[in-house]
Structures are given as C-alpha cells and as structure tokens.
Structure 1
Amino acid sequence: MQPIQFFQLASQQAQWLSARQSVISTNVANADTPGFKAKDLVPFTQFLDAATSNNSDNVNLASTNPMHFADPAQMSMNIREVDDKSGKISASGNNVGLAQEMIKANEARQDYDLNAGLVKALNKMMLMVVRR
C-alpha cells in the first residue's frame, strides 16, 4: 500500500471539480439547444481508481524518483452522458434540467470549499510544526 499524498490528492480533486463545473456550465448554456444531451463526469472515486489502478487498460506513467508527481494534465476526465432517470425529455429532445444542474453546481462548489479548507488547515498545521 502506498502512502496517501494529501496535497496531490487535493490537487486532483480540485482539477476534477473544475472540469465538472465546466461540464455543468456547458449543460446550462445548452439548455435550449434541440437534441442536446446533458453530460457529467464519472464520480471522483471512480476517476481516482482509474487513474491509480494497474489494470492493463490504463497506462500509468513510470517515475524515476518517488518524489516525482504525475502530470495532472495527462489524466483524462472521463466525460459520460447522464442517464435521465426522470424521463423528462422536452419536445426538442433536450434532457437538461436547470434545477438539477444548479444542484450539481452547488455540490461542486461545496466540495471545492471543503477541499480548499482542508488544504488550508493542513498547511497551517505544517507551518506550526516547522516554526517550533
């Protein structure tokens, strides 16, 4: 089992949340586009599992030093179409629900605030230890 690198994990989640906000904003912008299908990102836990698994389907970068970080730009943000469980598809074939998109945007913002707060608190604790 590898040690958990908190700052690297927090950085990956922040990038995932940024990509999710972008997808949500695209959904909202296309709310009136005929035939547009809403999209979302795979959940962060699945994204993290895919990024760190050693399956033959995934290519992981090899590092020459354990202090090297993986390039976050090379990790894909698997975008998939959302299954519309409510069955509410407009006459134009569009399945974007603005209320649902606003809920998802709020969840992403709350997750980002929590992520930033945890990073700030850990950074503060580390600075307190270093100063002593």
Structure 2
Amino acid sequence: MFEKLEIVRMAQAMASHAGAQQGEIARNIANADTPGFKAQALPDFADLYDSGSGSGMRRTRALHGASVAEAASAPVARQTTGAASPNGNTVSLEGEMVRAVEVRQQHEMALAIYRSSSDILRISLGRQR
C-alpha cells in the first residue's frame, strides 16, 4: 500500500540514488593514486527526478522518459571536470569528502521524508507510534 504513494517512491529513489553516489565517491577515492584515472560523478537527484516525469512516450535512450525509480536505479556516471595532477588523475580528495557529506545529508533527508510520511499515515489511520 505504501509503495503506491508518490512521496514514498520519491524518498525510496532518493535514498537509492544517494547510495549509488556514495559508491561512485568511494570508487573515486580508491583510485586517487591511479595514474590517468578520471573522477566520475552521478547526475543530481533533482535532474533525474525532473527527467523522470515523462509520460508513456517512446524512449530513444535508456533513461529517456524513465520513471523516478528507474532513473535512480540506473544512473549513468559522467566524468567530472577539474585540474589533473601531473600523472593525469583528476580526483580531488577534498572535493570527494565534501561530496560525501552532501550525499549523506541527501540520504538523511530521504529517510526523514519516509519517516514523516509514515507517521502521517499512522496518525490518519488512528494508530499512534
């Protein structure tokens, strides 16, 4: 029943997207010393959410017109722009740490949305915590 609510689907997709972003950040940090490695990042959740509101039109690309859940479950990494070190590596540890904090906040927001919506549903059904 709860999965059918758009706010719950959005919170679920947001949490899933945050997890995928943390994976990319971890991969970038793990390859911080790899010569020639290009740092990658996923598109923002807001961009995926806006593009995921399409109707039943024909898709010309994998994520074109996808629902929020589909778009968040299969995000495509893109290379980040930044100055390369002498060995060609573009990973900035400071930048990745800042991104990790932002993603953690996004995940916490998704959980707060989910908790608030479930509390509202419980209250409306006459059930307290």
TM range (shorter): 0.7 to 0.9
* Residue of structure 1 equivalent to 2:79: 81
Write the mapping of 1:52-67 to structure 2, written as runs, cut at 5 A: 52-54=53-55, 56-57=59-60, 58=64, 60=66
1:51, distance to aligned residue in structure 2 (A)? 2.6
* Residue of structure 1 equivalent to 2:105: 110
Q: Kindly indicate whether the alpha-carbon contact (under 8 Å) linking 1:51 and 1:75 is maintained by their aligned counterparts in 2.
A: no
* Distance across 2 between alignment mates of 1:119 and 1:6: 8
Q: TM-score, normalised to structure 1's length?
A: 0.78
* Residue of structure 1 equivalent to 2:52: 51
* Residue of structure 2 equivalent to 1:7: 8
Q: Does 1:126 align with 2:127?
A: no
Q: 1:72 to 1:46 in 2, by over 3 A?
A: same
Aligned identity (percent) is 28
1:128, distance to aligned residue in structure 2 (A)? 1.1
Q: Does 1:100 align with 2:101?
A: no
Q: 1:10 to 1:83 in 2, by over 3 A?
A: same
Cα RMSD (Å)? 2.4
* Distance across 2 between alignment mates of 1:28 and 1:109: 16
* Distance across 2 between alignment mates of 1:42 and 1:23: 11
Q: TM-score, normalised to structure 2's length?
A: 0.80
Q: 1:118 to 1:95 in 2, by over 3 A?
A: same
Q: 1:59 to 1:110 in 2, by over 3 A?
A: closer
* Distance across 1 between alignment mates of 2:7 and 2:95: 31
Aligned length: 118
Q: Kindly indicate whether the alpha-carbon contact (under 8 Å) linking 1:47 and 1:78 is maintained by their aligned counterparts in 2.
A: no
